[in-house]
């Protein structure tokens, strides 16, 4: 047996740090991950019998090519009504501007019957050369999964209760439309309130319990733009009035620039809002990665008051306009034009330059990365803004007069990210409605009127995000579909699988993988460690005959979650196997993992992939706790 070119007998533990693969890809997402995750021990092994290492089984050549078929969910509409009779020949698909062949085509389930039944019974099909409809096993069929995602970092409790109350009233319809529903809340940590279920009573009970929650995460409070604007407003009012007589600014003895501190307040507020936004993006990324294990279409109903595309834009805009003369020209009280002040002009805050500084917080790239990742998991996102019907006047701040341009920024900024991620994933965003039940049912019902098409990316396509464009020949028909996909490696899918088991608490184990957890052992310096032995039966692995031996390869990914809800980064390693070197008594290949351990409980997830046979398995174990 060897690992990445090293051999030993029985169990291997690397003494060098192995690379850990974080579940968060973008710079901002990594920032969120750092706030959510803690360090995990390096995944590796050393030999049990001696320290000598030799070359691995270099005569094993695995050139197994995996063809990634991309599934695109598509909704066609004309005049606001769904179009159910499109044919494959009317559609063309382009990847990064180059046309690709449509290999699979599935019409909407509702197209073959009168009305709309909730069951999704149509299997994906492909059109043959003679017009015959052929089954396409590569396209992923299965019941729809609805995920109700409550972003508590960006939602007031009163708004959450109003949405959930209406959701409870249509719980039966959600189950009927979705096939199975899961409910997840996020307050900086993912909280699974209901695993995928078709139990209507269980869904109602979960929604009832969630409605009673009135807690506001501290990060949500700090990131509230209304709170920050009130502080800026009060500072402007204090600085533009003489303390003793309330005289206008011109009568102030000091004559100092009242905006000298405003820039720092705006920047601090933007940083706090950016931290909350990064957390929500990271939580969404974490959840989306767990959904790839479920076949069929996944519709994620993202409920929030809105998430700023540019964190801090509202506060920056208010501060800039109060200091650059915009608000002063419109007659707003306490507003000034800093260009009128001569003293300290080289050290004071420049509101005009602050417009560029504000754009440093733009999160457009991170949202696009999340969308491409969701598309790879066949997840469409349907944001629902829980604030309900809003007018331009309502977008301002209570007891603070603002300009119309500020109100437009305050209204649009929390929506722009929601529209972007809906548009990129083929979902739909719901704003300006108090009928949340209708929005939920409409989002859930897209599967009934949606098509599925599949294609293979061009050979040699680079990893990362790639653009998808679908065109239709029929005049007047508009298409809503995924705008991108991520080319993913087998290792990245295995990492997501390991995290999925931790979130949902279970996983399939067709390889019969066993985990044996040892007792905590002190390592000095007050620390301790736990050894976990992963046993993979050779009878379940696909092995390649080479000479007189049989060789194989598998990849193992390990993640964990602490009792406080923090997720450990996931590490993975590829292992080469020689049938002649396994434990003869158990006929299993053994791989030992060393984890650091403190006093808190840890739930460990181990995902194993047979790289020859392509089979994946999950196994869970607990360390510590009662």
Look at residue 528 and tell me whether its pLDDT is greater than 90: no
pLDDT of residue 529: 85
pLDDT of residue 22: 27
pLDDT of residue 501: 86
- Is 150 exposed, middle or buried (CB count within 10 Å of its CB: 0-12, 13-18, 19+)? buried
Q: What share of the chain is helix, strand, coil (3-state, %, to 5)?
A: 35, 30, 40
pLDDT of residue 562: 83
Straight-line distance from the first to the last Cα atom of the chain, in angstroms, rounded to the nearest whole number: 37
Q: How many CB atoms lie under 10 A from the CB of residue 498?
A: 29
Residue among 110, 94, 160 at smallest CA distance from 467:
94
Residue among 398, 230, 236 at smallest CA distance from 333:
236
pLDDT (mean) for 265-293: 91
pLDDT of residue 252: 41
Joined together, the tokens standing for residue 516 give: 């044996």
pLDDT of residue 580: 87
Query: Where is 368: in which H helix or E strand?
Result: helix 364-376
SS3 180: strand
Selection from 237-251, 338-352, 415-429, 524-538 with the highest mean pLDDT: 415-429
pLDDT (mean) for 469-477: 95
Percentage of the chain with pLDDT > 70? 78
Q: How many CB atoms lie under 10 A from the CB of residue 478?
A: 12
Joined together, the tokens standing for residue 285 give: 């990324």
User: What ranges in 141-224 are assigned the alpha helix state H?
Assistant: 157-169, 171-178, 200-211, 218-222
The bridge status of strand 379-385 relative to strand 298-304 is parallel
Q: Of the given ranges (281-285, 434-438, 555-559, 569-573), which has the lowest mean pLDDT?
A: 569-573
CA contacts within 13 A on the Cβ side of 441: 15
Look at residue 504 and tell me whether its pLDDT is greater than 90: no
SS3 470: strand
Global pTM? 0.75
pLDDT digits (tens, 9 = 90+) for 606-624: 999 998 888 999 999 888 7
CA contacts within 13 A on the Cβ side of 349: 26
Q: Of the given ranges (140-149, 460-469, 475-484), which has the lowest mean pLDDT?
A: 140-149
Q: Which residue has the tokens 């046309």?
A: 99
Q: How many CB atoms lie under 10 A from the CB of residue 175?
A: 21
pLDDT digits (tens, 9 = 90+) for 51-92: 333 334 344 444 444 446 788 999 999 998 999 999 999 999
pLDDT digits (tens, 9 = 90+) for 322-342: 888 899 888 888 888 877 765
pLDDT of residue 71: 86
Q: Which residue has the tokens 């993988």?
A: 513
Q: Of the given ranges (9-13, 264-268, 535-539, 545-549), which has the lowest mean pLDDT?
A: 9-13
Higher pLDDT, 450 or 390: 450
Measured distance CA(172)–CA(49) in Å, rounded: 60
**Cα 15–521–506 angle (5° rounding)?**
85
CB 311 within 8 A of CB 363: yes
The bridge status of strand 98-100 relative to strand 91-95 is antiparallel
Q: Which residue has the tokens 């996909």?
A: 485
CA contacts within 13 A on the Cβ side of 183: 22
Measured distance CA(125)–CA(106) in Å, rounded: 5
CB 308 within 8 A of CB 417: yes
CA contacts within 13 A on the Cβ side of 411: 18
Look at residue 49 and tell me whether its pLDDT is greater than 50: no
pLDDT digits (tens, 9 = 90+) for 245-275: 444 444 343 445 678 778 888 999 999 999 9
pLDDT of residue 206: 95
What are the structural domains of the chain?
20-64+493-623 (2.60.40.3880), 69-487 (3.40.50.410)
H, E, C per residue of 280-349: HHHHHHHHHHHHHHCCCCEEEEEEECCCCCCCCHHHHHHHHHHHECHHHHCCCCCCCEHHHCCCCCCCCC
CB 280 within 8 A of CB 36: no
pLDDT of residue 89: 94
Joined together, the tokens standing for residue 229 give: 């604007």
Q: What are the residues whose beta carbons fall under 8 Å from the beta carbon of 305, sequence distance 6 or more?
A: 154, 155, 156, 159, 385, 386, 387, 414
Measured distance CA(111)–CA(109) in Å, rounded: 5
**Cα 184–110–454 angle (5° rounding)?**
70
For residue 36, what pLDDT band results from cuts at 50, 70 and 90?
Answer: very low
For residue 37, what pLDDT band results from cuts at 50, 70 and 90?
Answer: very low
Residue among 275, 276, 269, 306 at smallest CA distance from 394:
306
Selection from 4-13, 328-337, 425-434 with the highest mean pLDDT: 425-434
Residue 458 phi, psi dihedral angles, 5° rounding: -60, 150
CB 21 within 8 A of CB 607: no
Higher pLDDT, 247 or 533: 533
Measured distance CA(415)–CA(429) in Å, rounded: 9
pLDDT of residue 33: 32
Q: How many CB atoms lie under 10 A from the CB of residue 594?
A: 20
């Amino acid at each position: 047996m060897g690992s990445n070119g090293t051999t030993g007998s029985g169990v291997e533990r690397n003494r060098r740090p192995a690379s850990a693969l974080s579940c968060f890809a973008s710079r901002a997402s990594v920032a969120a991950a750092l706030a959510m995750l803690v360090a995990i021990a390096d995944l590796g092994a050393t030999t049990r019998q001696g320290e000598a290492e030799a070359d691995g089984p270099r005569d094993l050549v695995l050139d197994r090519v995996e063809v990634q078929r991309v599934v695109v969910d598509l909704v066609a509409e004309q005049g606001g009504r769904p179009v159910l009779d499109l044919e494959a020949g009317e559609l063309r698909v382009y990847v990064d501007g180059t046309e690709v062949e449509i290999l699979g085509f599935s019409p909407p389930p509702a197209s073959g019957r009168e009305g709309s039944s909730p069951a999704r019974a149509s299997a994906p099909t492909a059109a043959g050369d003679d017009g015959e409809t052929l089954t396409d096993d590569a396209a992923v069929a299965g019941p729809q999964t609805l995920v109700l995602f409550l972003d508590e970092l960006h939602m007031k409790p009163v708004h959450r209760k109003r949405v959930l109350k209406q959701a409870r009233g249509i719980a039966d319809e959600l189950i009927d439309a979705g096939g199975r529903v899961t409910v997840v809340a996020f307050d900086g940590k993912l909280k699974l309130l209901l695993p995928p279920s078709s139990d209507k009573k269980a869904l109602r009970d979960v929604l009832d319990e969630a409605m009673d929650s009135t807690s506001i995460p501290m990060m949500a409070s700090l990131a509230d733009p209304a709170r920050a604007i009130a502080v800026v407003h009060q500072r402007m009012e204090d600085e533009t009035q003489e303390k003793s007589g309330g005289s206008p600014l011109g009568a102030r003895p000091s004559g100092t620039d009242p905006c000298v501190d405003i820039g720092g307040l705006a920047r601090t507020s933007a940083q706090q809002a950016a931290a909350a936004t990064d957390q929500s993006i990271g939580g969404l990324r974490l959840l989306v990665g767990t959904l790839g294990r479920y076949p069929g279409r996944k519709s994620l109903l993202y409920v929030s008051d809105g998430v700023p595309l540019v964190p801090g834009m509202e506060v920056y805009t208010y501060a800039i306009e109060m200091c650059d003369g915009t608000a002063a020209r419109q007659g707003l009280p306490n507003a000034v034009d800093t260009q009128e002040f001569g003293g300290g002009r080289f050290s004071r805050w420049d509101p005009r330059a602050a417009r560029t500084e504000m754009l440093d917080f733009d999160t457009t790239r991170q949202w696009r990365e999340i969308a491409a990742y969701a598309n790879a998991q066949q997840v469409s996102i349907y944001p629902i803004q829980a604030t309900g019907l809003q007018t331009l006047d309502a977008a301002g701040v209570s007891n603070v007069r603002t300009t119309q341009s500020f109100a437009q920024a305050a209204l649009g900024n929390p929506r722009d990210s929601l529209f972007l991620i809906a548009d990129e994933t083929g979902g739909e965003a719901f704003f300006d409605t108090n009928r949340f039940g209708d929005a939920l049912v409409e989002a859930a019902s897209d599967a009934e009127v949606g098509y599925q098409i599949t294609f293979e990316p061009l050979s040699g396509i680079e990893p990362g995000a790639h653009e998808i464009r679908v065109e239709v020949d029929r005049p007047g028909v508009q298409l809503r579909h995924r705008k991108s996909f991520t080319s993913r490696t087998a290792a990245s899918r295995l990492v997501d699988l390991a995290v999925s088991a931790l979130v949902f608490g279970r996983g399939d184990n067709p390889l019969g993988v066993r985990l044996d957890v040892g007792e905590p052992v002190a390592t000095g310096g007050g620390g301790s460690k736990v050894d976990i032995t992963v046993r993979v039966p050779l009878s379940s692995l696909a092995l390649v005959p080479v000479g007189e031996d049989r060789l194989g390869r598998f990849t193992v990914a390990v993640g964990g979650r602490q009792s406080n809800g923090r997720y450990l980064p996931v590490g993975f390693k590829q292992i080469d196997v020689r049938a002649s070197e396994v434990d003869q008594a158990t006929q299993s290949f053994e791989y030992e993992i060393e984890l650091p351990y403190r006093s808190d409980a840890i739930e460990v997830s181990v995902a194993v992939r047979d790289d020859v046979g392509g089979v994946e398995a999950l196994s869970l174990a607990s360390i510590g706790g009662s």
